[in-house]
Amino acid sequence: MSRIAYVNGQYVPHGEAAVHIEDRGYQFADGVYEVIPIVNGKMIGEKGHIDRLWRSMNELKMDAPMDPGPMKIVMREVLRLNKVETGLIYIQVTRGVAPRDHPFPDDAISSLVMTAKKTSLEAAEKKAEKGVGVITVPDIRWERCDIKSVSLLPNILAKQQAKEAGAYEAFQYDEDGNITEGSSTNAWMVDQDGTLITRPTNNSILAGITRAELLELLEQKNMKVELRAFSVEELRNAREVFLTSSSAYVQPVVEVDGKPIGNGQPGSISSELRHIFKDFMQN
């Protein structure tokens, strides 16, 4: 079955979907996006993702292409047309088409593109059972990492470096030697005393929806979390490490910079949290 994309009011075959060469997303990466998981027909964290999309647009003084209500209808139509029961929906908004000039155009209309793709829970499960490796790299991004912008060059370079090192993800560290986040994931660790730690949200990281949902589940279960920055050194000496994102859910990390974490197997807390999160998504 051919995939269908939504582009500025039209549902078109994925292979034919296109935007204007003077779209500011293409010219300047002047755009924002969201990636939302769907599991067994249920959208996970829809409100959080929609709220964050609006926040990103507001922070960049970008007009919304439509109201949240109609947008949710388009999202469901994209999922229906692509027969996605478990997968991801991608939403991108840019400042629209205008002759190339750095200042905001006076009268451009924001562009809206949506695509959906199927993913496999089983594949994610297999990966989680084995765990993945991460490397650490300097965070060379800007000071507004709280905005989910399509300007992703530093993230792409970090992820490529991870790939070339045979790792799944690159955890970035700031000038103080503290981990900020992964190139497309949030970072967590468990110290030798069993304390769960993740960085508090501010402009230095994206406020991950998976991170927020997991924090809420932890609170419901009376499981304590320390919200503080942790160093590369602490990460390397952690009892357990894991990462969260809309596409990886809760993913155990078993190696940092080529060295095993613990016994090199997914840790018990990471695995428990993965199951708790899986239950949350499936119920």
**DSSP assignment, residue 15?**
G
Burial tier of 70 (Cβ tally within 10 Å: 0-12, 13-18, 19+): exposed
Gap between the Cα atoms of 235 and 217, Å rounded: 23
Give the HSE-up count for residue 108: Cα atoms under 13 Å, Cβ half-sphere: 25
Q: How far is the CB of 155 from ligand PDD (least distance, A)?
A: 6
Nearer CB in complex with ligand PDD: 74/209? 209
Catalytic residue, candidates 148, 163, 221, 259: 148
User: Of 37 and 108, which CB lies nearer to ligand PDD in the complex structure?
Assistant: 37
Which tokens sit at 182? 């992964």
Q: Are 85 and 42 in contact (CB under 8 A)?
A: no
Q: At what angle do helices 46-59 and 68-81 cross, to 10 degrees?
A: 120
Nearer Cβ to ligand PDD (23/181): 181
Identity of the residue, 22 or 146, whose beta carbon is nearer to ligand PDD in the bound complex: 146
Taking the C-alpha atoms of residue 149 and residue 129, their distance in angstroms, rounded to an integer, is 32
* Contact residues for ligand PDD, defined by CB under 6 A: 35, 155, 181, 184-186, 206, 208-211, 244-247
Question: Active site includes 148?
Answer: yes
Residue 147 Cβ vs ligand PDD, minimum distance, rounded to whole Å: 10
Both structure tokens of 88? 């991801």
**Least separation, in Å, of the C-beta of 38 and ligand PDD?**
13
Active site residues: 148
